[in-house]
Amino acid sequence: MFSYLRRNKSLAVGVVLLSLLALFIIVGNLTVDTELARPLSVRALQPPSWEHPFGTDRQGRDLLAAMVAGTPLTLKIGFIAGFLGVGIGTVLAFIAGYYRGITDTLIRGIADIGLTVPGLLVLIVIAVSVRGGLTVNQMAIVVASLAWLNPTRTIRSQVLTLRERGYVEVARLNGMSGPEIILREMMPNLLPYLAATLVNAVSAAILASIGLEVLGLGPLESPTLGMTLYWINFNAAILNGWWWWWTAPIVIILMVFLGLFFLTVGLDEIANPRLRQSA
Amino acid sequence: MTLLLEARHVTKYFGGGLLDRDSTVALEDFSFAIDSGRPSITAIVGESGSGKTTLARVLLGLVAPTSGTVLYQGRDLHALSGAERRNFRRDIQAIFQDPYGVYNPFYRVDHVLTTPVARFRLARSRTEARGLIEDALRAVGLRPEEILGRFPHQLSGGQRQRVMVARALLLRPHVIVADEPVSMVDASLRATILGSLRQLNQERGISIIYITHDLATAYQVADNIIVLYRANVAEAGDVERVVKAPQHPYTQLLITSIPQVSTERTWLNEQPVAQRIAPGQTGCRFVERCPVAMPVCQTMPPPLSRTEPRRVVACHHHPDPAGAQQNVLADMFVES
Amino acid sequence: MNAPGMNASGMNAPGMNASVLRVEHLRVSYDHPLGSVRAVDDVSFSLRAHERFGLAGESGSGKSTMALAILRLLRPPGRIDGGEVWLDNIALSSLSDDAMRRLRLAGIALVPQGSMNALNPVLRIRAQIADALGDHDMALSRSDLAARVRDLLGQVGLPPEVAEMYPHELSGGMKQRACIAIAICLRPKVIIADEPTSALDVVVQRQVMATLARVQQDLGAAVVLVGHDMGLMAQFVDRLGVMYAGRLVEIAPIAEIIAAPRHPYTQMLIASLPSLERKGMMQGIPGLAPLLRDLPPGCAFHPRCPQAVARCRTERPVLREVAGGIEAACHLA
């Protein structure tokens, strides 16, 4: 395992970054009082000090507490939306790719049309239609509603290729039914690809959710990363010189995206044997 | 006597849908029969484009014929009930050309052996299953300890192909359809694999349909031979007769084109010259390359004629003394 | 037959007609995490102009690796470990990358395995030939180019219309002949053909090989035919080298090899060819080809050899002359 990480540097970097984040969240939640992430908990606009290592914001939130409480929320949205998206996408992809015919044309058609519509626009429309603002879980569902489009297409292509393999034909000759062939013969060979797609989808979901939040359409009460950015914007923190306010969330967002990106590249190498470096 | 597997006037076209006016005929009016009482090895010889792979797929029920029927024990393949279909799948096994693609790289090679045992409930316990599998491997000359537990890429092409033969054996089929089983295997290993097939026929009464482009191995292995040229049967019958005294010009061409290990070096020089008669819409498909083509060959397709008790030829130079007959091809294989 | 002063491998006694291609003690290895593997082990042979040499062997014998090594087309993890290749009197290892590139196609041409599938599907045949010519700084005017292409196609027996066609419009045999046309466009001195007809049926194979023979004679070039079909070798080549597990085990004029093969592997290889004369004559070679990284001690073939004696298990046989013009690497030859 470790020797492989040494060779697959991208995977190693991704794992390290995400592990650091995980450590931050776990240790943080154990040591820091997350109640301080609520507004009006502490003195406002304090630069970093021993008492408030990340400083405080204009509404009286301890920023360390906000990051410790908010980061897992953002990640949660991303994971739920990503998993839902890839889950739905996989099912649709297999149905379309294996059975072909009119079902395939239908699914493919919907996905293609969906992909041409600007995703953020659709999300905004959905978000504003929901009365009383969104909770974190509702955000996840909203983002998931579009997250299945790309995975459906890409996984379907893989299914089309796998379908022509000799061992699938042998499975048919063994009298296996469609679902059996999909689950036992084709799916195991797709696992690396699905993992890479999943990480990609999570990354895209986080981006979409942050996008919605920055526009003010997110869960106003929660200290998610995107909402923090919204408040930073709303209060013109950059212009006002409250540098500690925007440094922490940006560093964390960078770590999230870089970590996921390197993980994707690393997993891609596993999924696509042709990219593997020769020994 | 029910015929085990029968093809009646099977024709298969590809393409020719709504937007595609050009359809290709892959197989035309093919008839064939296997009598379970007399297990034999039939070789189907043709070059690429002759229709031999399509034939394999049609006989295995993987593809439905455009017209004509394939019957298993007297019942249409595509109208079988679930249980009958399971019997069919067990009774007619296949060995494919590519000894790598047929293995799922995710699983060890045991998977291709354990799956049919489980599906067709061939054993009542794990140990019984293991015993069956080991017997089958030994029957094809492999040592179970060298094969089981390995991944496909750890075995050689010859070993992988032999495992496939062992797999076919497990189910005690009556017919094995082998589609180019040795063309991707080294020459020195071919004899062993083909020898196993011969053994299966002689010792276990399994009929083999051996599909290949290699006339020489077909001659060595088979009892009967069918020579296909561009979707039609050119010549068929007893393999000794067809190879030693070929009647169809295409068969003759095939035989002389095989380079022999001998000190006589005429192979490069002797090239039969075609008459260069342009092909018509109907007429014999071989007319462009035929050294003895006649004007009638361009317009009239040659009927299959019984020229000997165990031979049929489709060539205007060999008309049937008894006049045109139906089901000539199928009859020949079934009659004693 | 060999000219006086030349032995089986075609090596010259000094002062005789120079050979056009000379391979001396070539060694090729592949680096592998589990250790280095010797794919070609101390192979030597040479060719004169007009000569047809066959290199026979099955998968894992090293013959394709050798073809690539001669042209310095090996990529890591493969590398040439030792030995030398001489074209006329130029040592190929001494050439710079650029000089070697210019020599490929112009001095030695390769028709690689499966080349008919490697034709660029979006270029017409004319353009592909022009590509080859252009790469070698042959600045031809359009009409000169058209004439040259037509001429080349004629040499391989293809009608001039083929120049305007795309590869998918051609049959397998025609594609392969187009590849031969590309290989000869710069009039090389040596043509190496690696299994040129393995994907073709027998009738087309004969046409393609006849084309190759004719083209070779017109150019006065030497041909190395790499393959495993002994029947094809018997009918095409003048001299044959048989490879097993990276080593040359027999090398002799083809008539000698057919009449009396000296090495047991050659004997069994010939015997494994199915005959059209009598049924029941198919024999194989029992056992498996050895893993190159795990070669048996002594003679690499001894585990499968029906004639092996105790000496074969311990002492590796050296390729040596056993009769006039015939070399074999066997203790019993």
- Please give, rounded to a whole number of angstroms, the shortest distance from the CA of C262 to a CA of chain B: 16
List, for residues C53-62, the tens digit of each pLDDT value: 999 998 878 8
pLDDT confidence of residue C14: 46
Model pLDDT, residue B322: 67
Count of B–C CB contacts within 8 Å?
A: 117
The answer to whether B213 contacts C202, with C-beta atoms less than 8 Å apart, is yes
Closest residue to A170, CB basis, from B85, B105, B112: B112
pLDDT of residue B242: 92
What pLDDT, on the 0 to 100 scale, is given for residue B172? 83
A166 reaches B (C-beta below 8 A): yes
* Average pLDDT over all residues of chain A: 86
Contacts of C31 in chain A (CB under 8 A): 279
Nearest residue on chain A to B87, judged by CA atoms?
Answer: A175
Average pLDDT over residues C218-227: 92
Arithmetic mean of pLDDT, B173-192: 86
Q: How confident is the model at residue C13 (pLDDT cuts 50, 70, 90)?
A: very low
Tell if the pTM clears 0.90, that is, is over it.
no
Residues B5 and B334: their CA atoms lie apart, in Å, by: 11
Give the percent of chain C with pLDDT over 70: 94
Inter-chain CB proximity C76 and A279 less than 8 Å: no
Tell me: the pLDDT tens digits for A87-144?
Answer: 999 999 999 999 988 999 999 999 999 999 888 888 888 888 887 667 888 888 888 8
- Taken as a whole, chain A contains a residue count of 279
Q: From the CA of B279, how many Å to the nearest CA of chain A?
A: 35
Distance between CA atoms of B174 and B34, rounded to whole angstroms? Answer: 10
Partner residue facing C202 (CB), from B158, B257, B271: B257
pLDDT score recorded for residue A61: 87
From C270's Cα to the closest Cα of chain A, the distance in A is 33
Query: What was the pLDDT predicted at C3?
Result: 47
The mean pLDDT of C127-132, rounded to a whole number, is: 87
How near does any CA of chain B get to the CA of C42, in Å?
A: 24
pLDDT in tens, B148-164: 998 888 888 888 988 99
pLDDT value at C16 more than 50: no
Local structure of C25: helix, strand or coil: strand
Count how many pairs of residues, chain A against chain B, have C-beta atoms within 8 Å: 44
Residue C17 reports pLDDT greater than 70: no
* pLDDT, tens digit, 9 for 90 and up, residues B54-106: 899 899 988 889 889 999 988 888 888 888 888 888 889 899 888 888 999 88
* Mean pLDDT value across residues B19-43: 81
Give contacts of B106 with chain A, Cβ < 8 Å: 188-189
Residue C77's alpha-carbon distances to A9, A129, A248, B119, C244, in angstroms, are: 20, 60, 46, 44, 21
pLDDT, greater one: C140 or A223: A223
Q: Does A169 touch chain B (CB under 8 A)?
A: yes
User: C228 to chain B, minimum CA–CA distance in Å?
Assistant: 8
Give the pLDDT of residue B324: 56
Q: Which of B104, B116, B120 sits opposite A189 (nearest CB)?
A: B104
CB contact at 8 A, A74 and A67 = no
Among the partner residues A173, A175, A185, nearest to B104 by beta-carbon distance: A185
Q: How far apart, in whole angstroms, are the C-alpha atoms of residue C226 and residue C236?
A: 11
Q: Considering only alpha carbons, which residue of chain C is nearest residue B215? A: C276
Mean pLDDT along residues B111-129: 89
pLDDT, tens digit, 9 for 90 and up, residues B294-304: 888 888 888 88
Does position B1 have pLDDT exceeding 60, yes or no? Answer: no
Mean residue pLDDT across chain C: 86
Nearest CA in chain B to C211: B268
| pLDDT reading at C138 higher than 70 | no
DSSP B109-158: THHHHHHHHHHTT--SSHHHHHHHHHHHHHHTT--HHHHTT--GGGS-HH
pLDDT over threshold 50, residue A82: yes
Report the pLDDT averaged over residues B34-60. Answer: 87
**What is the least distance, in Å, from the CA of B83 to any CA of chain A?**
11
Question: Å from C77 to nearest chain A CA?
Answer: 7
Residues of C in contact with A276 (CB under 8 A): none
Q: How many CA atoms lie within 13 A of B321 on its CB side?
A: 3
Interface contact flag, B217 C282, Cβ < 8 Å: yes
Q: Which residue has the higher pLDDT, B43 or C93?
A: B43
User: Does residue C283 belong to the interface with chain B, where contact is any CB pair within 8 Å?
Assistant: yes
Cβ distance B262 to C234 less than 8 Å, yes or no, reads yes
Q: What is the pLDDT of residue B178?
A: 93
Each residue's pLDDT tens digit, A204-263: 999 988 988 888 888 888 888 888 999 888 988 888 888 888 888 999 999 999 999 998
- Dig out the tokens for B319 from the structure: 């008309």
**pLDDT given for residue B291 in this prediction:** 85
Instruction: Provide the pLDDT for residue C55.
Output: 94
Numbered residues of chain C with Cβ closer than 8 Å to any chain A Cβ: 31-33, 76-77
Is C271 an 8 Å CB contact of chain B?
Answer: no
Kindly list the residues from chain C whose CB atom is less than 8 angstroms away from the CB atom of residue A279: 31-33, 77
- Position C5 scores a pLDDT of 44
The set of residues, in sequence order, having a beta carbon less than 8 Å from that of B179 and lying 6+ positions away, is: B52, B53, B56, B94, B95, B96, B97, B211
Please check the confidence at residue B279 and state whether its pLDDT lies above 80: no
- Whether B166 and B174 have beta carbons less than 8 Å apart is answered as no
CA distance C74 to chain A (A): 14
Nearest CA in chain B to C273: B187
What pLDDT is attached to residue B325? 61
- The chain A residue lying nearest C36, using CA atoms, is A279
Tokens 């005690």 belong to residue: B172
Q: Tell me the HSE value of B43 on the side-chain side, using a 13 A CA sphere.
A: 28
Higher-pLDDT residue of B18 and C93 is C93
Residue for token pair 């043709």: B46
**So where are chain A's domains?**
2-30+53-278
Chain B's closest residue to C287, CA to CA, is: B189
Candidates B258, B263, B264, B271: best to mutate against C (most CBs of C within 10 A) is B258
Kindly identify which residue of chain A lies nearest to residue C33, measuring between CA atoms. Answer: A279
CATH number (3.90.1010.10, 3.40.50.300, 3.90.950.20, 1.10.3720.10) of A2-30+53-278 reads 1.10.3720.10
Give the residue from A100, A167, A183, A191 with the most B CB atoms within 10 Å of its CB, the best one to mutate. A167
Residue predicted with more confidence, C34 or C67: C67
For A150-171, what is each residue's pLDDT tens digit?
999 999 999 999 988 889 988 8
pLDDT, one tens digit per residue, over C281-308 is 778 888 777 878 788 888 999 998 998 8
3-state secondary structure chain A: CHHHHHHCHHHHHHHHHHHHHHHHHHHHHHHCCHHHHCCCCCCCCCCCCCCCCCCECCCCCEHHHHHHHHHHHHHHHHHHHHHHHHHHHHHHHHHHHHHCHHHHHHHHHHHHHHHHCCHHHHHHHHHHHCCCCCCHHHHHHHHHHHHCHHHHHHHHHHHHHHHCCHHHHHHHHCCCCHHHHHHHHHHHHHHHHHHHHHHHHHHHHHHHHHHHHHCCCCCCCCCCHHHHHHHHHHCCCCCCCCHHHHHHHHHHHHHHHHHHHHHHHHHHHHHCHHHCCCC
- The H or E element containing residue B159 is helix B157-170
Nearest to A175 among B89, B94, B100 (CB): B89
Q: CB–CB of C58 and B186 under 8 A?
A: yes
Residue numbers in B near A172 (CB within 8 A): 62
Chain C: touching chains (3 or more CB pairs < 8 Å):
A, B
